[in-house]
Structure 1
Amino acid sequence: MAHRILLLAATAIAKSEEQVGPTCSGTIELKGHGPVQMTNAYWNVPEDLAGNVEVVNGAIEVFMKGRTYFSDACGAKFNNSRYSRLYLLGKRLRWTTDISQTDCGCNAAFYLGSLHQNADVSKCEDYYCDANDVCGVRCAEIDLQEANKHAFHSVLHLQDDNSGSGLGYGGGGIDWSWHRDWTKEEYGPGANCIDTNHPFEVEIGFPLGSNGELQALTTRLSQVGSPCELQAEIQTASYIFQGRPSASELTQALHEGMTPIVSYWSNEDLQWMDGKGADGLGPCAEDVPDSCGPSVQFYGFELESLDERLI
């Protein structure tokens, strides 16, 4: 065992001394858009090596601490101009996720960031940015899915708002509770609508108001063979941060095109996402990162107008 630990440590040191650059894990098909290449992060957070991400039979398989970026091209060096820009205003994005190996303390995430527009290489050396300053650079962020088998959230973030405004189920602390749009009887292992022991479909919509700005973020979860679906929405009119209405800033970020990002990580303090909360209605009394399975999957990506469905 001691020999194996030393070998793993030596491998990590050797990798850290290599030239920092991306791993190009393969190409997926985004129906309604075209082929997309995946560019894997080198660092999970500064000085902490990222986990692996693979493309297997058209599915993105993300291993613990892995993060990957939708890209128009993947080269030998990180380049923000290669990151994909999806134009999502007035459209919906749909995919299937398998998070059956996750548990309390795990986060299988699919989200948007303004990476293409970010000229700052960041502390992760790959132009990564988000609303939580993970790699030292902030930008607008839209969490389409932050989830494990027990909790699911979609969240809008202005670039300087860590918490944001969201929807879904799970989370809270001693004196507060987060989203309660659904219940553990509707979403979770063995639940009657979305049984997270099996893959399920997520659909996120970006409807426009009469003024041409983002009106809401809509989330719909469905599952083959299920008798019901789960739906909720965030109205941008209700999301005001430090006196700033969110609609115009989020509309601008979406108008410029945002980059989809997939990641998988864990933490012993993920109660904000999956905790019981003050009302006791959340799912997880304790977060146990060691219970997280090795990987999660995302596949079956489709992009279409809100006015019509793909045939």
Structure 2
Amino acid sequence: MVWAVACVLAAALHAAGASCISGDACDGGENAAMLQGHRQRVAPQSVLSTAKVNRTRRGHTAFKKGLAALQTSQSSSAFQINEDGVWNTYFLPGASITDQRTLEYGINDKYFLMKYDTADSCTAGNFEMLQLAGKTFSATVYLNGAGCGCNVNFFLVAMPASSPGEFGDCYCDANCVGGNCCNEFDLNEMNTHALQVTNHLCGDPASHETCDGNGSPVMKFSPALFGPGNANTIDTEHPFNYSVQFRETDSESVLVTVQQGEKVISNTMANSALSSMWPQLSSGMVLVFDYWESSDMTWLDGASCQAPSYCSGNKAQVSNVHITTNALNA
């Protein structure tokens, strides 16, 4: 039913001369404004209001600095990840990185983890393919006041697509942003009021019809556990450590843990769709850092926020990224 509504919307947008990304939500709350680098692509409100909001839509790569800038950024985009005790150097072309271990990013920023400092997103050999099955991914996160209406996230996709999409790159995800579809696992989507983890599995071949754009399963933390202020177990006004564990002994679940000093919250997300994602996690996926905004982010933060909300735009930081084989922690 959702897909059918999306098709009707796409036709309406085309007729209106507006440009709405195929497979994306285009209503007054969560519209094309979230597509990084393409925020001017907002359809008239009379057209947008006909669609149902789909809760898991993100933007598209914004080469705001131009390809030349990305290709000449050299060591400034070097980003280190600790893998089983060894700091390995990769690249986030175009990103603002401090000491090679701290990424700072804001609204409309989107970066792919690469083996080389290049803007070529269509050559498979350029990407670092993270194989997270049987491993734990962890990082220190500082949201820096990115509140209601903000979506600070990092996630995994089965890039690159076999051919360039609408924006000339080979990005793909389970919502087929830009026209290319593929498996996607959201390690998190968060702001100071909410945190969500989502699995987006696609069939073969990946398409609008076979990809689970909404995601299943979905895991959230309640406001009392995660939110701004010391009344919450995790006070999101301060940095915290965040981890997702993919357990080889149970491919149908992942363990999500957030720690801040001695305070710890954790939750398990599970169902058979995760087991079906396991082969993709084993073969490798591309890590993407992304930050977007919407006046209606209530599918994420509705327990604490209301629409319309306007993202503060405060730049968030992700640092001290570790990938650890679970057996080494046993």
Residue in 1 aligned with 2:322? 302
**Distance (whole Å) between structure 1 residues aligned to residue 103 and residue 194 of structure 2:** 21
Residue in 2 aligned with 1:236? 271
**Distance (whole Å) between structure 1 residues aligned to residue 119 and residue 236 of structure 2:** 37
Measured after TM superposition, the shift of residue 19 of structure 1 is 6.1
- CA shift digits 1:270-297 (9 cap, x unpaired): 111111xxxxxx11122422x4233111
**Distance (whole Å) between structure 1 residues aligned to residue 79 and residue 175 of structure 2:** 28
**Counterpart residue identity of residue 275, structure 2:** A
**Counterpart residue identity of residue 152, structure 2:** A
TM-score (norm 2): 0.70
How do 1:89-128 residues align onto structure 2 when only pairs under 5 Å count?
89-116=133-160, 118-128=161-171
**Distance (whole Å) between structure 1 residues aligned to residue 164 and residue 255 of structure 2:** 32
CA contact (8 A) 2:153 2:291 kept: yes
Measured after TM superposition, the shift of residue 56 of structure 1 is 1.9
Residue in 2 aligned with 1:5? none
The CA RMSD measured in Å over matched residues stands at 2.5
**Distance (whole Å) between structure 2 residues aligned to residue 233 and residue 287 of structure 1:** 31
**Counterpart residue identity of residue 145, structure 1:** N
Residue in 1 aligned with 2:90? 36
How do 1:160-309 residues align onto structure 2 when only pairs under 5 Å count?
160-169=211-220, 182-190=221-229, 191-209=231-249, 214-224=251-261, 226=262, 228-237=263-272, 239=273, 246-248=274-276, 250-275=277-302, 282-289=303-310, 291-309=311-329
CA contact (8 A) 1:111 1:141 kept: yes
**3-state SS of 2:113 partner:** strand
TM-score (norm 1): 0.74
CA contact (8 A) 2:199 2:218 kept: no
Structure 2: gaps spanning 5 or more residues:
1-39, 41-62, 203-210
**Distance (whole Å) between structure 2 residues aligned to residue 29 and residue 61 of structure 1:** 14
Alignment length (residue pairs):
252
> Which one of 73, 88, 92 corresponds to residue 116 of structure 2?
73
Name the one with the larger strand percent: 1
Structure 1: gaps spanning 5 or more residues:
1-11, 41-52, 170-181, 240-245, 276-281
**Distance (whole Å) between structure 2 residues aligned to residue 122 and residue 199 of structure 1:** 36
**Distance (whole Å) between structure 2 residues aligned to residue 150 and residue 261 of structure 1:** 22
**Distance (whole Å) between structure 2 residues aligned to residue 55 and residue 262 of structure 1:** 12
**Counterpart residue identity of residue 305, structure 2:** C
Name the one with the larger helix percent: 2
> Aligned in 2, Cα 1:302/1:287: closer, same or farther, shift over 3 Å?
farther
CA contact (8 A) 2:138 2:243 kept: yes
CA contact (8 A) 2:219 2:269 kept: no
